[in-house]
Structure 1
Amino acid sequence: MKKLIASSVLAATAFAGIAAPAMADLSANVGYASEYYYRGILQKESSASAGIDFEQSGFYAGAWTADVGDGLEYDIYAGYGMEVGEVSLSAGFTGYYYTGEFDDTYEEFNFSAGWKFISVGYSVGEWDGFGEPADYDFLEVTVEHNGFYGTYGEFGDEAEGDYIELGYGAEVGGFDLGIAAIFSSEELSDQADSNGDDTESEAIIFSLSKTFDL
C-alpha cells in the first residue's frame, strides 16, 4: 500500500465540530500545491485541485478532485458535525476514486473530536488493492494556535507508517496561503538511500487556494 490514500479529507473534516447555521451554505474552491502530499505520502509534484461543498444544520457533503498525473483523483464525502459545550464532534464517510491507474479505490469512515486548540481524528477503511483488498486505519492528532499547527499521523492494521507535519496558514487578499514541512517514515517515503532502500523523507510544501460562496 505504498500509495495509500490521496485526497482531501481536509475538505471533509473542515466542517468537523462547527456549529452550522440554519441556512444552507454552498461553496466552491480551487487550489494549487507545489507538491501534493496527503497523510505524509507524496501524490504528485505541482498539482491543481477544485471542489464543491454543501452544509446545512451540521450536515455536510461535497466532492473534490485533483491532478495526480495518471488521470484524476476524485473524492466524495458526507457526514454530520456538532458541538457539545466546548467539544466538537463529527462522523462521516469518504470515498477516494481514480480515473486512471494511479491508484485503486479507498472507502473509509471518519470520526473526529476537538477541544480548543487540539483535535483527534480516526479513520477506518478498505483499499481495493487492484484485486487484493486490504484494511487500514489512520489516527491523527493536531495542535493549532494562531495559524500555526502541528500534526502527527500514524497508519495501522494492514498499513504501516507515520509522519509529522508542521505548518502555517493565513488569508492574504482573499486567498489562503500555506507552508508546511513534512517528515515521513520510510514506509510512506518516496525517497531511497544509495542502496536503493526506502528511507525517511522530508519536504517543504507551498499551497494557494481560494473559496467562493455560491
Structure 2
Amino acid sequence: MKLKTLALSLAVAGATSVSLVPAAAQAGVSANAGIFSDYVWRGVQQNGSDTMAVQGGLDYEADNGLFVGIWGSTVLKGYEYDLYAGWGGEVNGIDLGIAYTSFNYTDSAVGGTNEFEEVSLSAGMGPVSIGADIDVDKDQVDYTHYSISYDASAFAEGVSLTYGVTDTKGTSANAGYLNVNYSTTIDMGVDLMVDYFMNDNNNNSGTNELVIGLSKSFDLM
C-alpha cells in the first residue's frame, strides 16, 4: 500500500518500511499492488520461510492531511487486512502525524490473536524521524513499538535506515531490529524495494531476513 509499503519514516512493517503518515497531503484516491519474496513485520516473518507474499491496498487522502485506507497481505495462515485512519502534516517545519490502525486476520496471527489495535505517533525533521506505536487493545499483549529512521539519500540515493524495538510489558524479551531499505522506481512506474533486517529478537531466534519486492501505485481519482 502507498502508506504502508512506499513511504519511509517511522515504523517497519511488511516487506518494507512503513509510515502511516503521508509525506505530503494531496487529495485523491489511490490503489496499489505488490509481490514480495517474504513478509517481515518489525523484524518477524509473517508469511513463513521462503513463501512469497501478495499485498495491496486502497487509500484516500484529503487536502487537509486526513487519510483513511485498507491494506491486505497473505500471511502464514489465511490473510491479514488492516484498517487505518489518521492525519499527517507539517507544523512549524516539523512533520507530525497520528494514526489509528486495526490489524485483522482471517486466522490466528503470530501470538494467537485475530485482531489488535494501535495508535501511532510520529515526528520528523529533515532526514530524521521518530515514532511510537502504542497497543490500545488491552485484551492482548501490552506493548509499545519505538522507532527512529534516517533517510540517507544525501549519501546513497534511495537508501534509508530504521532501528526499532518492541517493549512488551511483563517480559524482558524485547524485540529489536535494524532495517536497511533501498527503493527505486524502474520501468512503467514499478517500484523495486530491497529490505535487509538484522534482528536481535528472541521470538525470531535472532535471524536476519532479506526481502525483495515489486509494487505499483495507481491514482484512481
TM-score (norm 2): 0.81
User: Structure 1: 5+ residue runs without aligned partners?
Assistant: 190-198
Query: Any runs of at least 4 consecutive aligned residues in structure 1 with deviations exceeding 6 A, and if so which?
Result: none
Code of the aligned partner of 1:69 = L
**Contact 1:96 1:106 (C-alpha < 8 Å) held by counterparts:** yes
How far is the alpha carbon of 1:127 from its aligned partner?
5.4
| 1:42 is aligned to 2:48 | no
Residue number in structure 1 paired with 2:109:
102
Counterpart secondary structure, 1:184: strand
**Distance in 2 of aligned mates of 1:7 and 1:205:** 9
Counterpart secondary structure, 1:20: coil
Residue number in structure 2 paired with 1:55:
61
**Contact 1:47 1:67 (C-alpha < 8 Å) held by counterparts:** yes
Residue number in structure 1 paired with 2:72:
65
| 1:77 is aligned to 2:84 | yes
**Distance in 1 of aligned mates of 2:13 and 2:163:** 17
- Larger CA deviation: 61-70 vs 118-127: 118-127
Residue number in structure 1 paired with 2:199:
184
Structure 2 counterparts to residues 114-133 of structure 1, below 5 A? 114-126=124-136, 133=140
**Distance in 1 of aligned mates of 2:107 and 2:178:** 29
RMSD of aligned C-alpha atoms? 2.2
Query: Residues 7 and 165 from structure 1, CA distance in 2 versus in 1: closer, same or farther, beyond 3 angstroms?
Result: closer
Code of the aligned partner of 2:72 = T
Q: In structure 2, which of residues 156, 172, 178 is the aligned counterpart of residue 164 of structure 1?
A: 178
**Distance in 2 of aligned mates of 1:163 and 1:205:** 14
Residue number in structure 1 paired with 2:218:
212
Code of the aligned partner of 1:51 = G
| 1:20 is aligned to 2:25 | yes
How far is the alpha carbon of 1:14 from its aligned partner?
4.5
Code of the aligned partner of 1:110 = S
Code of the aligned partner of 1:181 = Y
TM-score (norm 1): 0.83
Counterpart secondary structure, 2:36: strand
Query: Residues 19 and 186 from structure 1, CA distance in 2 versus in 1: closer, same or farther, beyond 3 angstroms?
Result: closer
**Contact 1:136 1:156 (C-alpha < 8 Å) held by counterparts:** yes
Counterpart secondary structure, 1:139: strand
Code of the aligned partner of 1:172 = I
| 1:89 is aligned to 2:96 | yes
**Contact 1:12 1:78 (C-alpha < 8 Å) held by counterparts:** no
Query: Residues 126 and 84 from structure 1, CA distance in 2 versus in 1: closer, same or farther, beyond 3 angstroms?
Result: closer
Tell me which protein shows more strand as a share of its residues: 1
Q: Number of residue pairs matched?
A: 194
**Contact 2:17 2:181 (C-alpha < 8 Å) held by counterparts:** no
User: Structure 2: 5+ residue runs without aligned partners?
Assistant: 1-11
Residue number in structure 2 paired with 1:195:
none
* Cα shift readout 1:64-97 (whole Å, capped 9, x = no counterpart): 0100131110000000111023210000100100
How far is the alpha carbon of 1:51 from its aligned partner?
0.3
Query: Residues 204 and 12 from structure 1, CA distance in 2 versus in 1: closer, same or farther, beyond 3 angstroms?
Result: closer
